[in-house]
Amino acid sequence: MHILVVGLNHKTAKVELRERFAFSPSELPMALRTLRDMKSIMEGVIVSTCNRMEIYVVCDQLHTGEYYTKAFLESWFRIPIEEFQDHLYVKQNQQAVNHLFHVVAGLDSLVIGETQILGQVRSAFLTSQAEKGTGTIFNSLFKQAITLGKRVHTETEIGQNAVSVSYAAVELGKKMFSSFRNKTILLVGAGEMGELTAKHFFAAGATDVIVLNRTLEKAQEVAARFHGTALSLEQLGEALRKADIVVSSTGAKKPILTKSVLQPALRHRRSPLFLIDIAVPRDIDPAVHELDDVFLYDIDDLQGIVDANLSLRQHEAEKVVAWIEKETERFQQWLQTLGVVPLITALRNKALAVQEETMARIERKLPDLTEKEKRVLRKHTKSIVNQLLRDPIVRIKELASTSTRDEALELFVQIFALEEQLREKETQQALAKEKSTSVLVDGKVSLST
């Protein structure tokens, strides 16, 4: 068995292409069933977010697994492979495992250390599990990955510091006030940056938000999203008298908050006024520094916070990479041992069949045995089997993690003559796979047995 991931993300494809490969939650179950029924594919998980689309599969052969995974994408989205082939990345076996661990830890995200992707991967795994799209390998791999992701976000500070200017403004506000409860946030400018900043303040507990904009309709539109108050730019003086924190992000070419604008409002205030200017060109005249009880921070101050936090995240990321390497190695060791399981099962079944046949002969030759005597004999003959098997099983597990693994497994099969048992198992699996293969009536994918 092999592990494969085929995907595209913000690094390899622009949003115009990524959005064409988005799986909606409602169609994901059908997509998983279709993927699972593709030739060569034994297990599958689909991760679909705004920044990535990844298909994780367990396949019997790497070449055919990759081919049919790409064929699935081509058929499901009805997009010729020539249009997206160059934007795909393909990772195999250990690299695929390592990639998944990087993803759940937030190291492969647009913003390093972000936490949302962990929940998205967990949801993708649970959805596939519910559709019986996962088995022994992915049940173990994704549970290990999710556990690692939780550890990263609880035992490191990789996701605890602002790495965007808009969120840095909120972090700065937290340093000014322990809580935003009963504090008024005045947002001057209702553009994309201003709205994002308001969203962060609102998420941090701000309940009193005033939005000012040159166009009142736009201010009302943004304010409504945060249960705030909308005012026109002409009401700036009135709003300044109420505000505790002012965040300005207009597109004005000259400062709109000057000493002359602020001074009248300050006469009606008893508490300090904190000004955060995230506009370029600047909205707030640097001369306001000269006013009493006014504290001004511009985008360079915020960028300093962002840079420091990025540096901290990068430092934490180095720690996480070391964890990922250990987790990847641990999974590989488990996977190698897993390859021994069919051999051990075949050996046990063969040994127990001999034991049962022996018991049947004993009972025929000694028909007067009581049920109690039969139970005693059955117990002791099974004990002999288990004792004889113990050392060979321990040794083959040890050899499975060595460089001579393949030779050792082959020799194990030959020594105990397990070829017939293994062939029967493979036949049963092939029949089960063939039985589950179906022709989809929606025309997206046609499969034949």
Q: Is the pLDDT of residue 442 over 50?
A: no
Q: What is the pLDDT of residue 437?
A: 45
Shared-domain flag, residues 170 and 302: yes
Q: Is the CB of residue 256 less than 8 Å from the CB of residue 288?
A: no
Mean pLDDT calculated for residue range 302-310 = 77
Q: What is the pLDDT of residue 445?
A: 40
Q: Is the CB of residue 70 less than 8 Å from the CB of residue 81?
A: yes
Query: How does pLDDT run across 370-416, given as a tens digit for each residue?
Result: 999 999 999 999 999 989 988 888 888 778 767 787 888 888 889 89
- 163: pLDDT confidence band, cut at 50, 70 and 90? low
The string over 387-424, giving b where at least 16 C-beta atoms fall within 10 Å of a residue's C-beta and e elsewhere, is eebeeebeebeebbeeeebeebbeebbeebebeebeee
Q: Which residues touch 85 (CB under 8 Å, ≥6 apart)?
A: 70
Q: What is the pLDDT of residue 91?
A: 96
Candidate list 22, 50, 224, 447, residue with the active-site label: 50
Q: What is the pLDDT of residue 294?
A: 93
Q: What is the pLDDT of residue 22?
A: 87
Q: What is the pLDDT of residue 84?
A: 94
Q: Judge whether 327 lies within some domain.
A: no
% pLDDT > 70, the chain = 94
Q: Is the CB of residue 45 less than 8 Å from the CB of residue 125?
A: yes
Q: Judge whether 411 lies within some domain.
A: yes
Is 59 designated active site?
A: no
Shared-domain flag, residues 346 and 297: no
Q: Which of 261, 285, 306 is the last residue of a domain?
A: 306
- 270: pLDDT confidence band, cut at 50, 70 and 90? confident
Shared-domain flag, residues 192 and 296: yes
Q: Judge whether 443 lies within some domain.
A: no
Q: What is the pTM of this model?
A: 0.61
Mean pLDDT calculated for residue range 25-32 = 92
Dist CA 136 CA 346 (whole Å): 18
Query: How does pLDDT run across 272-291, given as a tens digit for each residue?
Result: 899 999 888 889 999 998 99
CB-facing half-sphere around the CA of 286: CA atoms within 13 A: 6
- 55: pLDDT confidence band, cut at 50, 70 and 90? very high
State the total domains in the chain: 3
Shared-domain flag, residues 139 and 201: no
Q: What is the pLDDT of residue 449?
A: 30
- 68: pLDDT confidence band, cut at 50, 70 and 90? very high
Q: Judge whether 400 lies within some domain.
A: yes
Shared-domain flag, residues 275 and 379: no
Query: How does pLDDT run across 243-260, given as a tens digit for each residue?
Result: 999 999 888 889 999 999
Higher-scoring residue by pLDDT: 369, 303: 369
- As to burial, measured by CB atoms within 10 angstroms (0-12 exposed, 13-18 middle, 19+ buried), residue 326 is exposed
Q: Which two tokens stand for residue 133?
A: 């799209």
Shared-domain flag, residues 42 and 63: yes
Q: Among residues 46, 116, 72, 195, which one has the least CA distance to residue 445? A: 72
Give CA separation, 443 vs 20, 32, 37, 77, 260, in Å: 19, 16, 15, 11, 69
Give CA separation, 142 vs 117, 147, 156, 283, in Å: 13, 8, 21, 49
Q: Is the pLDDT of residue 140 over 70?
A: yes
Mean pLDDT calculated for residue range 136-160 = 89
CB-facing half-sphere around the CA of 383: CA atoms within 13 A: 6
- 430: pLDDT confidence band, cut at 50, 70 and 90? low
- CATH number, residue 176: 3.40.50.720
State the chain's mean pLDDT as an integer.
86
Q: Is the CB of residue 407 less than 8 Å from the CB of residue 335?
A: no
Range of the domain at 259: 165-306
Q: What is the pLDDT of residue 435?
A: 55
Q: Is the pLDDT of residue 167 over 80?
A: no
Q: Judge whether 160 lies within some domain.
A: no
Mean pLDDT calculated for residue range 226-236 = 91
Q: Judge whether 13 lies within some domain.
A: yes
Q: Which residues touch 28 (CB under 8 Å, ≥6 apart)?
A: 46, 48, 127
Q: Among residues 236, 296, 249, 242, which one has the least CA distance to residue 271? A: 242
Query: How does pLDDT run across 90-123, given as a tens digit for each residue?
Result: 999 999 999 999 999 988 887 777 778 899 999 9
Instruction: Go through the chain and tell me how many residues it has.
Output: 449
Q: What is the pLDDT of residue 336?
A: 77
Dist CA 171 CA 309 (whole Å): 11
Mean pLDDT calculated for residue range 52-75 = 94
- CATH number, residue 84: 3.30.460.30
